[in-house]
Structure 1
Amino acid sequence: MGTSWWQRHRNTVVAALLNVLAYTGAAVAGRYEWLFWIAVAAGVLATFGLVLTASQNVLVGKKLAETAANAQRRLLQEMLVPIIEVLGEIAVAATPDQRRGLQERMKHAVITAARAVGPADSRACFLDVEGAPGARTLRCSPGMWVGRQDTPRTVYSEGSPRGDRLLRHMDNRSPLFVEDLDREADVMQPDNNKYKTFIAAAVAPACNHQAFGILSIDSLNPGDLTTEDEKIIEVLGQLLGSALAMN
């Protein structure tokens, strides 16, 4: 988010996101066995993250810590409450139609949370994967992006340099973080050449399941996004993937 508070507390946010994932997975593990394993892995990672963050925060003065804690609570509430609520509703939805409607709400909640990771002029988008292997596309449908009012590129095709790179990272479940697009080859440059850094992560559960697409965030200046932001976008992609996998 480009603030000193965010730089100090990214680890806490990551750990909190993982704890949310663990809690939700445990709550519905009886119905969805794969969420149990997400819960186990996420809980372990969250524990380590919170321990490391606690060690770092010992050095913070009392007044600064109180101010940061209040800001942190507001941030986590804004980011996580809608996601937790919708994910829980999806898990207990009575009908397929109701579940599909809630999954659309989940997409918007996660895109909004992803946008909150970056500075004010960042932009987040959900790219849905379509088509058969060899002819796949990643498509950003209307309403599936928030943030900076530059309409994002809507389609990336398999067989093009940029499409192949995104699909490869999606298939491998490995997030892609480009810190400075000016260092990239010409074929990797965005169409309008406005944004200079971006993160893309697979929208898929943490366990073995098909990917549903890509969650991305981009911003105008190199340095606007960091490796800590990459971790958060990856976890948000897993949360959305977990929600879309429920059927």
Structure 2
Amino acid sequence: MAGRRRWLPPAAWWNLPLPAVASSAAWITQVYFSENLSGVTQASLVTIGVLASALTVLLPALEIRRERGRIATAERMAAEKLAEYKVTTNDMLIPLSLAVTDVLTAPTAIARREARQSLRQMTVGFAAEYVGPERSRSCFYGLEDDPETGGRTLRLRAWHGRNKPPRARFDPADPAEAQVFALVDSLDSMIVTDVQAIHLLGWTDIAEYRTFIAVTVAAGERPLGLLTLDSLHPGDLSDEDLDLVRLFAQLLAAGLSVR
């Protein structure tokens, strides 16, 4: 920070001694004109007045010192968090950007397919490890044609996190799972802080997680799939986490849109 730091405006330093000066002047004047008091009493009263006046300065000064310490601690913690955030962001975004570049510059269809899978896996890995709390899980479901039904399906293409594998696919013919496809078709995203507080049976396996984020991966108006992040406890994920998963979905879409 440029220049000298001011903990309090100049007026505050002038205002602090004023009560003490006024108190001392009033006390000493009272003692001076009290002729009926003995010398010892007068001296005692003067001493008490001076001590009381000193306290009016000392106590606020101590509070200012404590406040300085709190401000310094808060500034240090904020700086540490900012540095940690910058490092974490660089650790995630730079590799993801390079992975997208690998897809764009792949010389053959096979190399491009491998680069896309690497990008998918890297995305869910970063989402699970950096965005959610411990034991979070991230999944990517690709929106694909289903040769068995002739319709569409959301098929699991990459995941990272807890040991138990997520579901393999979503079926649009299942009324409970149709809402997942409705979200993808709307190109929208959502966060649910507690799955027990809602009735979205297509999304949830309460035995596995209690909060989740779902973000459509889309290239323009064309949906490509769904990126999810879930965690074990209600409230584990926040709107800030949703914004970061959206960013991952945009980078993922940039790579998957290349054919």
Local SS of the residue matching 1:145: strand
Q: What CA deviation, in whole Å up to 9, does each residue of 1:179-219 have, x standing for no partner?
A: 211112273463462201111111112x23x2221100111
Tell me the equivalent position of 1:68. Answer: 81
Structure 2 distance, partners of 1:94, 1:229, is 35
SS in 2 for 1:140: strand
CA contact (8 A) 2:188 2:216 kept: yes
Q: Unmatched 5+ residue regions in structure 1?
A: 1-58
Given that residues 139 and 160 in structure 2 are in contact (C-alpha distance below 8 angstroms), is that contact kept between their aligned partners in structure 1? yes
What is the distance in 2 between the residues matched to 1:60 and 1:125?
A: 39
* Correspondence list, 1:220-231, <5 A: 220-231=232-243
State the distance in 2 between where 1:194 and 1:238 align: 27
1:118 to 128, 132, 145: 132
Output the amino acid matched with 2:133: P
Q: Which of 68, 81, 94 pairs up with 1:81?
A: 94
Aligned mate of 2:155, from 139, 144, 147:
139
Contact 1:161/1:187, CA 8 A, preserved across alignment = no
Residues 129 and 212, structure 1, Cα contact 8 Å, conserved in 2: yes
Please state if 1:104 is matched with 2:117: yes
Structure number with greater Rg is 2
What pairs with 1:192-231 in structure 2 (closer than 5 Å)? 193-205=207-219, 207-208=220-221, 210-231=222-243
Letter in 2 for 1:246: V
Q: Are the aligned partners of 2:177 and 2:202 in contact in 1 as well (CA < 8 Å)?
A: no
Instruction: Verify the 8 A CA contact 2:97 2:251 in the aligned structure 1.
Output: no
Flag structure 2 segments of 5+ consecutive residues without an equivalent.
Answer: 1-71
Aligned residue for 1:156? 170
- Secondary structure of the corresponding residue to residue 187 of structure 1: coil
Change (3 A) 1:181 1:98: same
Identity rate, percent: 29
Check conservation: 1:134, 1:159, Cα contact below 8 A. no
Q: Which residue of 1 aligns with 2:24?
A: none
Tell me the residue number matched to 2:199: 185
CA distance in 2, matches of 1:197, 1:135: 29
TM-score by length of structure 2 reads: 0.65
> Superposed, which structure 2 residues align to 1:5-16 within 5 Å?
none
Q: Letter of the aligned partner of 1:190 in structure 2?
A: T
The TM-score with structure 1 as length reference comes to 0.68
The residue number in structure 2 matching 1:168 is 182
Q: Deviations over 1:117-166 (max 9, x none)?
A: 1001110001112226983221214xx11111121111210022442111
How far 1:87 moved relative to its partner?
1.2
Q: Which runs of 4+ in 1 moved over 6 A?
A: none
Q: Secondary structure at the match of 2:213?
A: strand
Q: What is the Cα-based RMSD across aligned positions, in Å?
A: 2.5
